[in-house]
Structure 1
Amino acid sequence: SKSYFLLRSIGVKVVWVYNAVFWVMLMCVTVIYIPLMLFGLLGNILTILVVWLRPHMRTSTYLYLSSMAVSDLLILLLLPLDLYKLWRPRPWPLGDLACKLTMFLSECCTFCTILHITFLSLERYLAVCWPITAKTVVTRRRTRAIIGCLWLSAAVSAAPVLVMVGVEDVGREDLGECRCTHFAISSGLLSAMMILSNLYFLVPLCILGVVYSLIGRTLWLRPKSSRRDQSHRNTVKMLGVIVLAFVLCWLPFHVGRTIFSLSLGTGTERQETYLDTNSQSDTITHYFNLVSSVLFYLSAAVNPLLYNLMSARYRHAVRSLIRTQSHAQARRMHTLTVHHSTTTL
């Protein structure tokens, strides 16, 4: 009897410590999320404006980067909902349709970013290793068509999410939560989607490894005096850093999702355990998911900073855009002041 009560008191203390540490981590994640979102929104909006308001920036490389900025922008706009779900997983206040659409959009943008990085690297491979072919194959019109196909492919690949997620009552409480449905787990749709998601990460990762190895070999064998090759080297360096940041930020995200998928069985008892809010994953999984979610949003926010650090052309275009907008606003203020003075006289 005494042993039972002793073990029970120890268990209560362990749960209390776990909850306290988890809430502290959740507060730290919130503090990181807010400036990350603001910085990412500003940077990606600047990238889009720079490419579309500066004609000389509408090269195939920057067309890909501006489209990827749109994808990252949408991911960051969904961050407040993700943060809300972390603090209050239920009840979901926006209804079943909003639950499906937000999860679909997040998955679609995830796939789209991966496809953009892959095709952008392939385009650089053609430009460096097959420059004559690239002049005829890589055009702005074709780049825009490819970008449209990438968005369409990402949307089709993410379409199963519309069936997989929904608002379901959890446990004995009549409170709906936006989450993966009982049907998705029992039918194996969740496992199939996790396989597709991992393929979306692993296959492009292999392609990127081969492509950058070939690009590096080609540039190494060429003389360094060529201005064109120097420009290629600068672009490849920038893209290499972007790819490295992508791998480092997204690898924990995919590992965490795979662990989550494997932790769900197909048996009724296991599904009921999953649907019970009092039976969560172990402590390490919780902490890992929090860290991987921060890295996931960091990837969406950090790309404009990398462009600014690695590309003098991008820095010059941003400065030119800001300077032009400042001068335009100053002229408008001067015009309004003169007009007001004239009318008062």
Structure 2
Amino acid sequence: RYMAIVHPFQPRLSAPSTKAVIAGIWLVALALASPQCFYSTITVDQGATKCVVAWPNDNGGKMLLLYHLVVFVLIYFLPLLVMFMAYSVIGLTLWKRAVPRQQAHGANLRHLQAKKKFVKAMVLVVLTFAICWLPYHLYFILGSFQKDIYYHKFIQQVYLALFWLAMSSTMYNPIIYCCLNHRFRSGFRLAFRCCPWVTPTEEDRLELTHTASLSRRVNRCHTKETLFMTADMTHSEATNGQVGSPQDGEPAVP
């Protein structure tokens, strides 16, 4: 979203770059999960079989606390910071864009309303991520300080509730977009048109057709711009090769 709105004409990631980014994400995820894989062990406590992580030479639970703090920073704090900064720049970019003068009468109000809805959606998405994931991380960080909480009667139910709350964070994003964006509503109606209670209208089809057409026009403009830049660079290199500085031992051209 950041690149599409703030830098719409910059080249997108190439296929090798995209694969490298995906591979990097998987490597970080595997590195974060590997300690639990290596140090997990099965124990029997009061007739109950449990899988626990036994850290080697963990004096006072420092290794456990350090691990949970690293996980907290890498998969909660940094993503939250990146989302906040990216959405802030997106919001400022959209807010500065003015409506063309030939459409400035009735379009100004619609443009302002669309901006407000977009800002609301961004704020809700960031808050949803923060609220859903914070209790999950606090559960493990607090457990690193005071392991007695893991022996409370209903701690398993508490953990499952926090786990499901964290995993459900992305589930709310489509609901937020559907409530605040008419294009998403049109897309949902067309996607679920097989349901008997969902009836897409012609306006929904036109809305999505217009969006797809606009996206193709932007891509064509970017392709033309890239071709023009390549042709200009090729012409410049050819010109420099013909009228460049003289080589050693050659007379200068007057």
Shorter-chain TM band: 0.5 to 0.7
Higher relative contact order (CA 8 A, sep 6+): 1
- SS of the aligned residue for 2:172 comes to helix
* 2:193 is equivalent to residue 299 of structure 1: no
User: What is the CA-CA distance between 1:177 and the residue it aligns to?
Assistant: 0.8
- Tell me: CA distance 1:297–1:211, structure 2 relative to 1, closer, same or farther (3 Å): closer
> 2:54 maps to what in 1?
181
- SS of the aligned residue for 1:137 comes to coil
User: What is the CA-CA distance between 1:223 and the residue it aligns to?
Assistant: 0.9
- Tell me: CA distance 1:178–1:287, structure 2 relative to 1, closer, same or farther (3 Å): closer
Q: How many residues align?
A: 183
Where does structure 2 lack aligned partners over 5 or more consecutive residues?
A: 197-254
Write the distance in 2 (CA, Å) between the matches of 1:304 and 1:141: 29
Amino acid of the residue matched to residue 243 of structure 1?
V
Write the distance in 1 (CA, Å) between the matches of 2:55 and 2:3: 46
Q: 1:154 aligns with which of 25, 29, 34?
A: 29
- SS of the aligned residue for 1:166 comes to strand
- Tell me: CA distance 1:239–1:209, structure 2 relative to 1, closer, same or farther (3 Å): closer
> 2:209 maps to what in 1?
none
Q: 1:57-113 deviations in whole A, cap 9, x for unaligned? A: xxxxxxxxxxxxxxxxxxxxxxxxxxxxxxxxxxxxxxxxxxxxxxxxxxxxxxxxx
- SS of the aligned residue for 2:21 comes to helix
Q: 1:174-208 deviations in whole A, cap 9, x for unaligned? A: 54212333648557442232021111211222222
Contact 2:84 2:126 in 1 (8 A): no
Asked which structure has the greater CA Rg, the reply is: 2
Provide the TM-score with structure 1 as the length reference.
Answer: 0.42
User: What is the CA-CA distance between 1:247 and the residue it aligns to?
Assistant: 0.7
Matches within 5 A, 1:158-169: 158-169=33-44
Q: 2:185 aligns with which of 307, 312, 315?
A: 315
Write the distance in 1 (CA, Å) between the matches of 2:6 and 2:12: 13
What's the RMSD between the two structures over aligned residues?
Answer: 3.9
> 2:239 maps to what in 1?
none
* 2:140 is equivalent to residue 257 of structure 1: yes
- Tell me: CA distance 1:294–1:209, structure 2 relative to 1, closer, same or farther (3 Å): same
Identity of aligned residues (%): 25
Contact 1:256 1:288 in 2 (8 A): no
> 1:223 maps to what in 2?
98
Where does structure 1 lack aligned partners over 5 or more consecutive residues?
A: 1-123, 265-273, 327-345
Contact 1:164 1:184 in 2 (8 A): no
* 2:65 is equivalent to residue 191 of structure 1: yes
